[in-house]
Amino acid sequence: MSALHVIGTAGHVDHGKTTLIEALTGINPDRLPEEKARGMTIDLGFAWFAGENAEPIGVIDVPGHERFIRNMVAGAWSLDCALLLVAADDGWMQQTQDHAVVLASLDVGSVIVVVTKTDAAAESRAEDIARDARARCAKIFGAEPPCIAVSALTGKNIGALKDLIIRTVSALPDRSDPRGFPFLYVDRVFTIKGSGLVVTGSLRGAPCAENDELVLLPQRESVRVRGMQTYNSSVSEARPTSRVALNLQKTRSEIRRGNCITSPLAPFSSETELIARVQPVEGLQALSEIRNHSEVEVALGTGHVIAQLHFMGDRRVARIQLREPLPALWGQPFLVIRHGGSEILGSGRILWFGEVKKEERRRLAGLLAVMPEKPHDADRFLLELRFYGLARKPKDLSVDLDAESPVVIDEWMFHPPWLEKLTSDILAIAGLPAGVSSRELESKLRIDGDALKSVLASLVARGALTPANNLFFARARVEKGELSALGRRLLAEIERAGKAGFESTRSGIEGAQKELKILIRLSLVVPLEGGICYARPVFDELAARVLAGRSKAERFSIPEAKERTGLSRKYIIPLLNRMEKDGLLRRDGDARVVR
Ligand SMILES: Nc1nc2c(ncn2[C@@H]2O[C@H](COP(=O)(O)OP(=O)(O)OP(=O)(O)O)[C@@H](O)[C@H]2O)c(=O)[nH]1
Ligand SMILES: [Mg+2]
């Protein structure tokens, strides 16, 4: 089934938006008594008309007065197409500019310029204004929009406008995703006697059906759709994008404009801290005037929240601390409005949810600054891969990974330098005589348990780790037969040296250093200071003797250790230092303490 559409108005105060909608649809969208009395739109209004195949096209009317800019933004988030009105007697004005910028910032790419009130101006003036409006739109939207001259008063071209709207929305790419999730930002909340609470909004994403179990954000409360209407008819299912009224079992105080209703599985976040790209908007340079750490308002979906803006790096990205959580999707655009004022300061796009440690912020800001202007899920995947070093393999691999060439292990992808460091850390820890459990590794290395499991399994498969009794040992059980002849000879000499140790510098065997390195890496030989080497079993036995019967935190002296091992001072100090390095002991003055 093809998608439905919702369009909306935009434009300067009194340029004829509400009147045009009434001429198009027969519905006067001004519903508040104050609006009717003052002849001025204050809040969002709604109407609809039958489009192609009698399918309804929803219409959202917005206020033009600058004081109500937040309401205008609340109407713009869901639009498939916007009618940007310019009165033929007035021309392009401040709010025409502001509204155009809002539409472009919120990714409403489809715009029709409607020059209206043509009955009130000379034809040549209307033509000049149309040309000017198209040129300005080309700058703001990147392409010249279609344009039509109408009069709501005389009815001139109203039918042609309707046709143009129908043609335009029919040609739009389908934004809905039947396998995706439904979502709407609440724009009205009211109660109806007998039915209870009703919320309205523009449904996007996927269809929504009666009895669907949804979630209300940011409250994270589950809600069930008891009944549903679209365009004044009760329906059991609604398709995106359409205006819907949902009957919910809630009270009025529990839900308000700005809340989001979606599937519990939808990837919405409701954070109070995020990082976003922020940029000045066309024709306004206000963002550059914002003092760092100052308060602004963030308008997103149908909501707006006071926020503190902390610029990062070269000011292309900012950390934003919101006074209240805002339900949002990654990559979602928003507007920055002057706190308590009506001036649009800039636009933004969410690139990161949640807090980031202070010492990590600079690195993250660098990665975020180079994200594409309109990032996709694939860009998010790459970002996480670069920042965390690992990321869960995406379901569909439409990501261009050539530049990263990540290492794939099971369900995970790893950034190669990061995996290398992780592997050497794991082998170092698992190289201790006591081995290590995966739980210990997980907390020491602060890595996702599932990803760690995959890495450990691959190390075991490669023979770098040996599992035993729920522990991992980096003592490679290398068959001695796999060593080179020289390696075997060297190992035999070291084993023969026993407690006396083998002094690598004095071996006199050519090529011994390289072989020794391999023996050490295979954990067959333990190097001590001063070039002394012990065969692993000898070292383990000496270490065991030092520790035998001692409990944690117990102190002992060097002479005691000497006596237990029978080692001279030349050997005992390097042995104890090695044990200290391996985390078995710590030093306390002349004494040693069991860890
Ligand atoms: N002559 C003439 N007047 C019009 C036309 N369309 C609207 N008007 C008049 O212009 C005034 C403002 O019209 P509205 O439709 O309320 O304008 P608006 O853009 O909705 O205003 P806000 O919602 O306050 O921003 C009203 O007095 C209308 O009667 C038109 O095509 N020709
Ligand atoms: Mg109006």
Please work out whether the CB of residue 42 comes within 6 Å of at least one atom of ligand 1: no
More confident residue, 404 or 37: 37
Domain with residue 518: its CATH number is 1.10.10.10
Residue whose tokens read 């390095």? 581
Whether residue 562 has its Cβ less than 6 Å from ligand 1: no
Task: Say if residue 223 is in the same domain as residue 141.
Answer: no
Q: What percent of the chain has pLDDT over 90?
A: 65
Q: Tell me what the mean pLDDT of segment 114-118 comes to.
A: 97
Q: Measure 353 CA to ligand 1 centroid, in angstroms.
A: 42
Q: Kindly give the distance from the C-alpha atom of residue 87 to the centroid of ligand 1, in angstroms, as a whole number.
A: 9
Q: Which of 6-20, 396-410, 416-430 has the highest mean pLDDT?
A: 6-20
Query: Residue 477's pLDDT is what?
Result: 47
Of 140, 170, 200, the one marking the end of a domain is: 170
Assess if residue 445 is contained within a domain: no
- What length is written for the chain? 595
Ligand 1 pocket, 152 CB below 6 A?
A: yes
Distance 29 CA to ligand 2 centre (A): 8
Domain end call among 228, 262, 296: 262
Check which CATH number belongs to the domain holding 299 and give it: 2.40.30.10
Q: What is the pLDDT of residue 407?
A: 86
Report the distance separating Cα 15 and Cα 112, nearest Å.
15
Residue 424 falls inside a structural domain:
no
> What φ, ψ does residue 522 adopt, rounded to 5°?
-80, 0
- CA distances from residue 471 to 237, 468, 475, 538 in whole angstroms, order as listed: 55, 5, 12, 22
Residue 53 burial (10 A CB sphere; 0-12, 13-18, 19+): exposed
CA distance 445 to 434: 18
Which strands sit side by side in the sheet containing 525-527, from one edge to the other?
502-503, 532-535, 525-527
The single residue listed with the structure tokens 């001072």 is 569
Give domain status of residue 432, yes or no: no
Lowest mean pLDDT among 113-122, 371-380, 565-574: 371-380
Closest CA to 106 of 374, 433, 434, 462: 374
Q: What is the distance between the alpha carbons of residues 64 and 72, in angstroms, rounded to a whole number? A: 8
- CA 245 to CA 182: how far, in whole Å? 14
pLDDT in tens, 459-507: 998 888 988 778 898 865 455 556 778 888 888 889 998 988 888 777 6
- Do 500 and 590 sit in the same domain of this protein? yes
End-to-end Cα separation, the chain, in angstroms: 68
Residue 12 in contact with ligand 1 by CB distance below 6 A: no
Place of tokens 């005037």: 289
Same domain, 28 and 152: yes
Q: Quote the ligand 2 centre to 12 CA distance (angstroms).
A: 9
Last residue of one domain, picked from the residues 375, 407, 435: 375
Does any ligand 1 atom lie closer than 6 A to the CB of residue 64? Answer: yes
Q: Can you point out the beta strands (E) in 256-400?
A: 260-262, 269-279, 295-300, 303-312, 317-328, 333-338, 344-353, 390-392
Q: Read out DSSP for 123-142?
A: HHHHHHHHHHHHHHHHHHHS
Query: Are both 347 and 241 inside the same structural domain?
Result: no
Regarding whether 150 and 212 lie in a shared domain, the answer is no
Cα angle for residues 221, 329, 326 (degrees, 5° grid):
55
Lowest mean pLDDT among 218-222, 272-276, 299-303, 377-381: 377-381
User: What CATH number has the domain bearing residue 126?
Assistant: 3.40.50.300
Q: Give the DSSP H/E element, type plus range, for residue 162.
A: helix 158-170
Say whether both 290 and 346 belong to one domain.
yes
The answer, yes or no, to whether residue 517 has pLDDT greater than 90, is no
Count of structural domains, the chain: 4
Q: Which domain holds residue 97?
A: 5-170
Query: Is 22 in the same domain as 115?
Result: yes
Q: Does residue 199 sit within a domain?
A: yes
For residue 41, which atom of ligand 1 is closest to its CA? 23
Q: Mark whether 155 and 218 lie in a shared domain.
A: no
Is residue 186 within 6 Å of ligand 1 at its C-beta? no
Phi-psi region of 247 (alpha: psi -120 to 50; beta: other; left: phi over 0): beta
Residue 65 CB–ligand 1 contact under 6 Å: yes
Q: Is residue 416 part of a domain?
A: no
- Note whether 196 and 163 are same-domain residues: no
Q: What is the mean pLDDT of residues 106-116?
A: 96
Please indicate, yes or no, whether residues 73 and 150 belong to a single structural domain of this protein: yes
Regarding whether 126 and 163 lie in a shared domain, the answer is yes
Are 95 and 116 found together in one domain? yes
CA distance 269 to 399: 23
Mean of pLDDT values over 168-192: 91
User: In the predicted model, what is the mean pLDDT of the chain?
Assistant: 90
Query: How far, in Å, CA of 264 to CA of 211, rounded?
Result: 14
Output the six-digit token pair for 406. 């990540």
116 alpha carbon to ligand 1 midpoint, in Å? 9
Q: Is 559 part of a structural domain of the chain?
A: yes
